[in-house]
Amino acid sequence: MRLVYVIGIILLAPLAFAQPKPAATQPTTRPTGVKAVPPSELLDSLLKPPATAGQVLQPIQEGPVIDATTGKNAVAPGAPQLNLVREGSPIIGKTARLTKSSDTQFSELTFESDGKAMKDPPMLILPNLTLMRMEAAVAGASRDLKFIVAGTVTEYKGRNYILLDKAVAVPDVAQQF
């Protein structure tokens, strides 16, 4: 029995010597041609601004932005200037009509106003499946449809756009006066 133990130890001994050495915390050789920089100088060089700094982006405009299709650019004479709705603003539960824009290929969403201020300029609709369903509903209807819409407003070159999330056609009964 002892002979078996001795033979096992002799056979396993080379495996014990073949174990990897623990990793060194320092490199075994220093890179050549690299000058050692004291930590304080390295920190100072990282904190000071570069000699050729890139151009810092400035905000496009502070305060309210005027809608490019209102005021003197509007079709109606003497139309008031209206502010754009800020990008990312939600539109929830507003009644609107689908109209075709005269100058672009986009469809416009013309909001039903409250009858007082009438300060809801139309928004261009970003193409998506909701717009496609709205266009199909208008094409299949024998009357002008109103929709209750929900979506997110975007802003580009002085115009508001809307990405529709939901649009529901207002039933016939609700549209009769």
- Best CA proximity match to 83, nearest among 164, 153, 150, 167: 153
**Residues 162/150, Cβ–Cβ less than 8 Å:** no
Per residue of the chain (177 residues), what is the pLDDT tens digit?
Answer: 777 777 877 777 666 666 666 666 666 666 666 677 788 888 888 787 766 656 776 666 666 677 777 666 666 666 667 778 889 999 999 999 988 766 656 688 888 875 555 677 788 999 999 999 998 998 888 888 899 999 999 998 888 899 999 999 988 765 555
**Residues 175/146, Cβ–Cβ less than 8 Å:** yes
For residue 12, what are the CA distances in angstroms to 7, 21, 50, 51, 91? Answer: 9, 18, 61, 64, 76
Domain boundaries, the chain: 85-175
- Best CA proximity match to 94, nearest among 152, 11, 16: 152
**Residues 89/154, Cβ–Cβ less than 8 Å:** no
Placement of tokens 């209206």 in the chain: 82
Q: Please give the sequence-ordered ranges of beta strands (E in DSSP) within 8-145, or none if there are none.
A: 90-100, 107-111, 123-125
Which CATH code of 1.10.645.10, 2.40.170.20, 2.40.50.140, 1.10.1660.10 fits the domain covering 85-175?
Answer: 2.40.50.140
Structure-block tokens of residue 52? 């050729």
What span, in angstroms and rounded, lies between the C-alpha atoms of 108 and 161?
Answer: 9
pTM above 0.75, yes or no: no
